[in-house]
Amino acid sequence: MWINQWMRLAAERITDNREYLIGLDRTIGDADHGENLDRGFRAVVDYVETANETDVAELFRGIGYTLIAHVGGASGPLFGSAYTRMGEVATKELTPTIIAAMLDRAVGGIQKRGHVVAGEKTMFDVWLSVADAVNHAVDEGADIDQLRDVISESAEVAAQATVDMVATKGRAAYLGERTIGHMDPGAASSQLILQAFSECVN
């Protein structure tokens, strides 16, 4: 099923980029983001492979709890709420409308948990841009195949756009203007997670 595929591929991409994410977080944070997420997504893979869950919402809630329990840091509860909220609308068979609704829920979850708005140089910027791009594409009649490209491209552009921003949330906010010129680690990991999603939806 796409959910297990997504979790396995996301975990693989995070593991492959562990050092890259650690490096980004070393520059504007405390160098643990790659380690936190690698640990968390490995735990998620263990969870989905053993979970005997037929209810999609329950499965996503379990993924969310696993992330909160194993990622730690600021990002654990943020990703946790994103997954729990996506599960409220996710289904075994996806449609463009459901994909758009899932991304909207993720955005709502991160926003509420992080008290964050657009432009604060966080993971939120990536989830919001992808949700906006997908909603726009769905309004224009895009099918799932087209959405895959929309997700992948908008995630890359949005993560890149955090480079020029000043961090005003999380640990990076202490560095203020000194964060300019560096990509936000949570934006980079969100790009990887959403690109993995784009490859697994069908």
Query: Is 40 an interacting residue with respect to ligand ADP (CB under 6 A)?
Result: no
Under rule CB under 6 A, residue 169 binds ligand ADP: yes
Residue 78 touching ligand ADP (CB under 6 A):
yes
Count Cβ atoms below 10 Å from residue 59 Cβ, excluding itself: 23
At closest approach, how far in Å is the CB of 177 from ligand ADP? 17
Q: Identify which of 107, 94, 190, 195 has the alpha carbon closest to the alpha carbon of residue 143.
A: 94
The option from Mg ion, ligand ADP, none interacting with 58 (CB < 5 to 8 A, set by class) reads none
Q: For the beta carbon of residue 79, count every other beta carbon within 10 angstroms.
A: 30
Distance in Å from the first CA to the final CA of the chain? 10
* Cα–Cα distance for residue pair 158/119, rounded to 1 Å: 10
**Which residue in the set 9, 10, 25, 61 belongs to the binding site for Mg ion (CB under 5 A)?**
25
For residues 96 to 135, the per-residue mask of contacts with ligand ADP, x marking binding by CB under 6 A and - elsewhere, is --------------x---x-x-----xxx-----------
Q: Which stretches within 95-201 are classed as H helix?
A: 96-114, 123-139, 144-161, 185-200
Site residues (CB under 6 A) for ligand ADP?
Answer: 25, 29-30, 32-33, 36, 73-75, 78, 110, 114, 116, 122-124, 169-171, 184-187
